[in-house]
Amino acid sequence: MNTRPHTTPILFLSGAGLPAWIWEDVRAALPVESAVAVYPKQGDATLHDYADTALAQAPDGPFTIVAHSVGGVVASEITAIAPERVAGLLGIAASVPAAGTSFLGALPVPHRFVVGLIMRLTGTRPPEKMIRSGLCAGLGAADIARIVSDFEPESQRLYRDSVSPRTLPARSGYVTTTADREFSIASQRKYAAELNPKFRREVPTGHLPMLQDSVSLTQIIEEFAAGA
């Protein structure tokens, strides 16, 4: 099996509700084949469905996952389904729950109960004000308007289903976003610890570094893909 980092293509896993175009600048600058997974649209899709759907869109053979936000949960499930395919995993402000734990279960108390209740009452699309002030913090007006317009709610089960027992890849990394209003630095460090990464980097951005500072993030991804 050829898992040479410099030739391994990349599968991008986006955060919840986010369109594929958020990765356009990063992908255009990377000298490697890549794809962005489009998540299932069924309102009752399970976490396993998300992982299966993403895996079906992955490049042939071994690939590296670059997972953002809740995409880390999907990445974790992919490593449970097809560990032999995953040559590396780079989390970007990514949620990486312990096996047997869900996205909600990995949130700190009391945040997990508040978020879970809000989702039950209002669904998985946050109010526009929260998208603008939290998710889109640090972005320009044009990007914010596009995200608000294109944001799509996800299945409740993406957040509530527990991650299966898994085999995480030995080559792993984590990028912490230090001005993030969605995931605190403490939470990101907890998620990173699940990966036990040898590769760690920080960017001084909000939750969407691929839009706020695509140049820096591209350099980090390329460095990781080159086997740093």
pLDDT digit string, tens, across residues 58-73: 999 999 999 999 999 9
Q: Which domain holds residue 207?
A: 5-225
Per DSSP, what are the bridge partners of residue 200?
174
Q: In the prediction, which pLDDT does 184 show?
A: 95
- Which has the higher per-residue pLDDT, 226 or 55? 55
Give burial (CB, 10 Å; 0-12/13-18/19+) of 157: middle
Instruction: Supply the mean pLDDT for the chain.
Output: 94
Across the chain, the runs of DSSP E, i.e. the strands, are 10-13, 34-36, 63-68, 86-92, 172-177, 199-203
- Average pLDDT in the 4-16 region? 82
Which CATH number is 63's domain given? Answer: 3.40.50.1820
- Average pLDDT in the 78-87 region? 97
pLDDT exceeds 80 at position 221: yes
- What total number of domains does the chain contain? 1
Say which residues have a Cβ less than 8 Å from residue 24's Cβ, sequence separation at least 6: none
Q: In the β-sheet with 10-13, what is the strand arrangement from edge to edge? A: 34-36, 10-13, 63-68, 86-92, 172-177, 199-203
- Average pLDDT in the 100-126 region? 88
Only one residue has tokens 């990377």, namely 30
Q: How confident is residue 121, by pLDDT bands cut at 50, 70 and 90? A: confident
Q: In the prediction, which pLDDT does 2 show?
A: 36
Say which residues have a Cβ less than 8 Å from residue 72's Cβ, sequence separation at least 6: 13, 91, 94, 95, 96, 191
Distance CA 24, CA 60 (A): 21
| Secondary structure class of 43 (helix, strand, coil) | coil
Q: In the prediction, which pLDDT does 7 show?
A: 65
Quickly count: other Cβ atoms within 10 Å of residue 22's Cβ: 21
Q: How confident is residue 197, by pLDDT bands cut at 50, 70 and 90? A: very high
What is the number of residues in the chain? 228
Count of alpha carbons within 13 angstroms of residue 21, beta-carbon side = 7
Say which residues have a Cβ less than 8 Å from residue 129's Cβ, sequence separation at least 6: none
